[in-house]
Structure 1
Amino acid sequence: MSSTFGYDEFNELALEMIKETGRDTVFQRVVQAPTDPQKPWLGAGARVVSKTVTAPATFVPIAGKRELGEYGVTDEMLARCERTLWVAAGSGVDDSYNVVLDGGTAWHVEFVRTLKPAETPLVLFMGLKR
């Protein structure tokens, strides 16, 4: 991920800091496959994991939007969540992952916000719910 403004250094710093304070976490992209691809009107089939990434993540207590620096997260968004986490964008995780596995617990991703100066995503903030 190359940037003309030197954001690569910030990407590396975010990844390093999250590795130091976090733990390896599994991120999954789960989709529902149609029962018959030729007849999608018959409804959805089983849930299928289409992609899995293991990356370090730092779990943080749920805080109000003021603590997040008016980050674009509303109190209503935080009220829907049981946990929140930070993950570095340079770890291979993006906003398309909708399930987080941590210590045998599957968490549904309620929302994702990305700290993205210019066109370079640095850190993702995810709200999680069981």
Structure 2
Amino acid sequence: KQQSQREYADEVAQQETEAKEKLQKQVSAERAHCQAVSDQLEQEGNKVEGLKHELAELKRTFHGAQSSMRDAQRKSSAANEDIEAKERQVKELKGKISELQSKNSEIVFKQRQQEADLRAR
């Protein structure tokens, strides 16, 4: 009877040892898996941080380009206004030149008439 109790106790102890070893292997496997997942999360986090920096740089570049574009539009508008003003000045000057040419033609005509009158006398 004692021997069968001892065999039973040995068998239970053996089963407990095997169960503990099995659980330790499972725990080790789970820890390794958790570490792998943790490492992957860290890598993904680093990628996200890198992308955030890239996005911030792109935003700065975009805002700079927008600012440059607005400056160029303002300069273009100012240049167009200058061109229009110069075109008006040219038109006015052409009108004045035309008037002066007319007056000059009248004066030359009158001078020639006076010269012809003087010669005729």
More strand by share: 1
Query: In terms of Rg, which structure is larger?
Result: 2
If asked which structure has higher relative contact order (CA below 8 Å, sep 6+), I would say: 1
Indicate the TM-score class for this superposition, using the shorter chain for normalisation.
under 0.3
| TM-score using structure 2 length | 0.16
| TM-score using structure 1 length | 0.15
